[in-house]
């Protein structure tokens, strides 16, 4: 049996819809994997009552099927489902890494990204890699379908999680099918700025690189209190704010030393909008860790 700790992740980062992702140092799922005659799934922890235990509908179960590696898979959720923090991706990444080890399948982490993305397809209808890539590789990743580019990164972040659920499937339905050329130009500039910020561990550039005006406003409209929370975070010194993944989590880039203030301001912003929320003071972190 092996145990895998797989981190929460934040996808999109504003300007990299379906491409950019970052691993967070907390929260995380802990998944235990042991070979078995057929795959079974057990789920405990935060939001476990909403997670299917039928292997065909569970991201980890789908990964076991993809790898032809049946197993008893026990998932202890630290990452709430439908949060925008890559909850389903963490379970898929953990299962892929664990099964690869217990069955000695010989994949490297990059090859496991595509396998874990099949788990994402099962829950959202789309095999996006922008959460599973950082969950497996850590740091900052750009997943373009044909390749995954990766750099370690060290940037302070806050993620604020309102007591509200937004399913990825629903959040994908509000994404516009075409973009204005001015928005396109802004997004290209922001994406370049963000990559530079990640490479340089520069929170100013990272926050500036979140700016995007096509997908983010459509997603933000699904989050009660988003505008208020964004303004509060910026007033508290955040260098940029955007929707985390498909939402409803809200991500803020911070300078070292002001995460506590930003976190408190975001929780208060949600409270003023009548929404309970909790904030994680976090930073870019490592990919999934395996324990024998």
Would you tell me which residues interact with ligand HSE (CB under 6 A)?
11-12, 18, 86, 128, 130-131, 168, 171-172, 245-246
Q: Name 180's Cβ contacts closer than 8 Å, sequence gap at least 6.
A: 214
168 as an active site residue: the answer is yes
- Nearer Cβ to ligand HSE (2/171): 171
Kindly state the greatest CA–CA separation across the chain: 56
Check 9, 141, 168, 216 and give the catalytic one: 168
Q: Name 52's Cβ contacts closer than 8 Å, sequence gap at least 6.
A: 41, 58
Q: In the bound complex, what is the minimum distance in angstroms from residue 91's beta carbon to ligand HSE?
A: 13
CB-closest chain residue to ligand HSE: 245
- In the structure encoding, which two tokens stand for residue 132, read together? 């599973």
Q: In the bound complex, what is the minimum distance in angstroms from residue 213's beta carbon to ligand HSE?
A: 16
Query: At residue 75, what are phi and psi to the nearest 5 degrees?
Result: -110, 120
- In the structure encoding, which two tokens stand for residue 257, read together? 């030393």
Cα separation, 228 vs 150, in Å, equals 33
- Nearer Cβ to ligand HSE (156/248): 248
Q: In the bound complex, what is the minimum distance in angstroms from residue 214's beta carbon to ligand HSE?
A: 12
Cα separation, 58 vs 60, in Å, equals 6
- In the structure encoding, which two tokens stand for residue 86, read together? 């890559």
- Nearer Cβ to ligand HSE (21/70): 21
Q: In the bound complex, what is the minimum distance in angstroms from residue 289's beta carbon to ligand HSE?
A: 21
The span from the first CA to the last CA of the chain, in angstroms, equals 7
Q: In the bound complex, what is the minimum distance in angstroms from residue 36's beta carbon to ligand HSE?
A: 29
Cβ(256)–Cβ(21) below 8 Å = no
Q: In the bound complex, what is the minimum distance in angstroms from residue 166's beta carbon to ligand HSE?
A: 10
Cβ(14)–Cβ(212) below 8 Å = yes
Nearest Cα neighbor of 85 from 166, 139, 142, 193 is 166
- Nearer Cβ to ligand HSE (62/246): 246
- Residue with tokens 């302070």, as numbered in its chain: 156
- Nearer Cβ to ligand HSE (115/251): 251
Cβ(283)–Cβ(157) below 8 Å = yes
- Nearer Cβ to ligand HSE (51/171): 171
Cα separation, 247 vs 77, in Å, equals 18
Check 39, 59, 118, 120 and give the catalytic one: 120
Residues noted as catalytic:
120, 168
């Amino acid at each position: 049996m092996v145990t895998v700790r797989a981190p929460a992740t934040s996808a999109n980062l504003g300007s990299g819809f379906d491409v950019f992702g970052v691993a967070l140092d907390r929260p995380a799922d802990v998944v235990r994997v042991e070979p078995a005659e057929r795959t079974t799934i057990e789920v405990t922890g935060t939001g476990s009552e909403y997670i299917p235990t039928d292997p065909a509908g569970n991201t980890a179960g789908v990964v076991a099927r993809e790898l032809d590696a049946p197993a008893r898979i026990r998932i202890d959720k630290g990452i709430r489902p439908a949060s925008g923090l890559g909850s389903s991706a963490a379970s898929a990444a953990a299962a892929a890494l664990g099964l690869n080890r217990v069955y000695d399948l010989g994949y490297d982490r990059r090859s496991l990204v595509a396998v874990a993305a099949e788990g994402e397809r099962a829950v959202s209808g789309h095999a996006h890699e922008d959460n599973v890539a950082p969950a497996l590789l850590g740091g900052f990743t750009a997943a373009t379908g044909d390749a995954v580019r990766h750099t370690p990164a060290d940037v302070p972040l806050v993620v604020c999680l309102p007591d509200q659920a937004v399913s990825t499937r629903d959040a994908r339905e509000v994404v516009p099918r075409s973009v204005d050329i001015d928005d396109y130009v802004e997004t290209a500039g922001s994406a370049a700025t963000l990559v530079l910020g990640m490479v340089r561990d520069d929170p100013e550039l990272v926050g500036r690189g979140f700016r995007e005006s096509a997908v983010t406003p459509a997603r933000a409209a699904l989050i009660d209190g988003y505008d208020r929370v964004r303004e509060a975070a910026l007033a508290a010194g955040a260098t940029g704010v955007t929707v985390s993944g498909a939402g409803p989590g809200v991500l803020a880039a911070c300078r070292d030393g002001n995460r506590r203030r930003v976190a408190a301001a975001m929780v208060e912003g949600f409270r003023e909008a009548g929404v309970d929320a909790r904030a994680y003071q976090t930073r870019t972190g490592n990919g999934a860790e395996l324990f024998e």
